Amino acid sequence: MARSFNQVVLMGNLTRDPDLRTTPSGQSVCNFSLALNRSYKGQDGEWKEMTDFIDIVAWGPLGERVAQYLTKGRPALVSGRLQSRSWEQDGQKRNKVEVVAQDVTFLGSPSGSAASSLATDEPTAAASDDKKAVPKKKKDDKNPPAVGTKDEEDVVIEDIGDEPINLDDIPF
């Protein structure tokens, strides 16, 4: 039996452009924040809107790709783990809980179409473009990789028939 489990999945819009920095040891770190909107019915029976703001940290190549491809207002899906930090500032002890990203999926595109890219902290995956090429399925492939697997550089979508699926043709 597991002693603890720390995993979070969030989907929201960036509240500001990502901030990419480098630590003194040369490690890249990117900070950004997501706005998460939710609706609920209040005690008076009226629907209310709330927005939560969550700080995200992405390290290494993942952080570099986030800084390169995401901007303020862009939607993103982040999976990672919660981490708390403590420090002292101006004589006061401060605490913060943030998400350390392990995977970031870019939703939408700068032009607003439905294309998406996948970025992960795995060194084998590369987000090279917001519109990923969809390779044609080979006839001899018995077990093609699933969507979003980290075995190939491109996001693979199994096609139906002879033509690959074009992400721009998906209506949502």
| Residue 154 belongs to some domain of the structure | no
Query: For the chain, how many structural domains are there in total?
Result: 1
| Residue 117 belongs to some domain of the structure | yes
Residue 97, φ and ψ in degrees, nearest 5: -110, 130
Q: Give the C-alpha distances (Å, rounded to integers) separating 27 from 22, 23, 59, 88, 172.
A: 5, 5, 7, 24, 37
Q: What is the pLDDT of residues 35-76, one digit of tens each?
A: 999 999 999 999 999 999 999 999 999 999 999 999 999 999
Count CB-CB contacts under 10 A for residue 22.
11
pTM over 0.85: no
Q: What is the pLDDT of residues 99-150, one digit of tens each?
A: 999 999 999 876 554 444 445 554 433 333 343 444 444 444 444 444 444 4
Domain with 89, as residue range(s), is 8-127
